[in-house]
Amino acid sequence: GAGVSQSPSNKVTEKGKDVELRCDPISGHTALYWYRQRLGQGLEFLIYFQGNSAPDKSGLPSDRFSAERTGESVSTLTIQRTQQEDSAVYLCASSLRVRGAEQFFGPGTRLTVL
Site string for other proteins, 50-69 (x = CB under 8 A): x-----x-xx----------
Contact between 28 and other proteins by CB under 8 A: the answer reads no
Nearer to other proteins by Cβ, of 48 and 65: the residue is 48
Q: Does 44 bind other proteins (CB under 8 A)?
A: yes
Contact 94, 26 (CB under 8 A): yes
Chain residues 68-97 in contact with other proteins, contact rule CB under 8 A: 89, 91, 93
Give counts: helices (H), strands (E), the chain. 0, 10
CA angle 72, 70, 83 (to 5 degrees): 115
Q: For residue 16, give every residue at least 6 positions away whose Cβ sits within 8 Å of its Cβ, in sequence order, or none.
A: 81, 82
Single out the residue of 45, 68, 73, 81 in contact with other proteins (rule: CB under 8 A): 45
